[in-house]
Amino acid sequence: MLCFLRGMALIPFLLVTWSSAAFIISYVVAVLSGHVNPFLPYISDTGTTPPESGIFGFMINFSAFLSAATMYTRYKIVEKQNQTSYFSTPVFNLVSLVLGLVGCIGLGIVANFQELTVPVIHDGGALLAFVCGVVYTLLQSIISYKSCPQWNSLSTCRIRMAISAVSSAAIIPMIACASLISITKLEWNPKEKDYVYHVVSAICEWTVAFGFIFYFLTFIYDFQFNGED
């Protein structure tokens, strides 16, 4: 059934499916429990109140672990490819890994510190996760182009760069609009003055989050071969 997941491909596959499930399950439980408005809550809003907070915390913690495992495996694959056929300085790959792991730490902070309980720590973790994550995808997209066509197809490079570009474009208004919101709350009224900022920021947040998921989805094929031709 999962015969296509040869090599290390199971790691990004688990990351993509588990993280998607974490977002969707937390959202559904939060909406059905009446804790958030169904229309564009922040991702963290869906993991703030019990019982969804427990689900969110557990699943996002494991997503952080799977993300770190995926990034380290990707680092080793690129390292092996670069030794076989030199295309980029190893420091570039290492910097990408370090930034990615810092983002994973940020994701762990988001999972363990709810936004209404310790908002400063939660928001700091979210900032780390999103900013480092976006930079990681950009660096990996550049690496993909450098290793093309031997290790990546041009179409894969273009898909990765497109996802990185969309995420980069979305993260700026996400941060800007979130910083203009004067109060942290779960339920919003369209007549409130900060409502537009909330909507724009939430749209961008979901865009970046699923951008990460689709980006890691592109790793599945690469991981099947573990750096082998």
pLDDT band at residue 27 under the 50/70/90 scheme: very high
Per-chain mean pLDDT for the chain: 92
Query: Does any domain span residue 160?
Result: yes
Structure confidence at residue 228 (pLDDT)? 57
Query: Does any domain span residue 229?
Result: no
Query: Does any domain span residue 123?
Result: yes
Query: Does any domain span residue 226?
Result: no
Please work out, in degrees rounded to the nearest 5, the angle formed at the alpha carbon of residue 182 by the alpha carbons of 127 and 192: 120
Average pLDDT score over residue span 170-180:
96
pLDDT band at residue 86 under the 50/70/90 scheme: confident
Query: Does any domain span residue 227?
Result: no
For the stretch 176-185, pLDDT in tens is 999 999 888 8
Q: Does 5 score more than 60 pLDDT?
A: no
The rounded distance, in Å, linking the Cα atoms of 63 and 210 is: 13
Q: Does 121 score more than 60 pLDDT?
A: yes
Please work out, in degrees rounded to the nearest 5, the angle formed at the alpha carbon of residue 155 by the alpha carbons of 221 and 135: 80
Number of structural domains, the chain? 1
Structure confidence at residue 199 (pLDDT)? 95
Query: Does any domain span residue 91?
Result: yes
- Residue 137: give the domain boundaries: 9-221
pLDDT band at residue 123 under the 50/70/90 scheme: very high
Q: What is the pTM of this model?
A: 0.93
The rounded distance, in Å, linking the Cα atoms of 221 and 96 is: 20
Query: Does any domain span residue 173?
Result: yes
Q: For a pLDDT cut of 70, what percent of the chain falls above it?
A: 96
Q: For a pLDDT cut of 90, what percent of the chain falls above it?
A: 76
Structure confidence at residue 187 (pLDDT)? 82
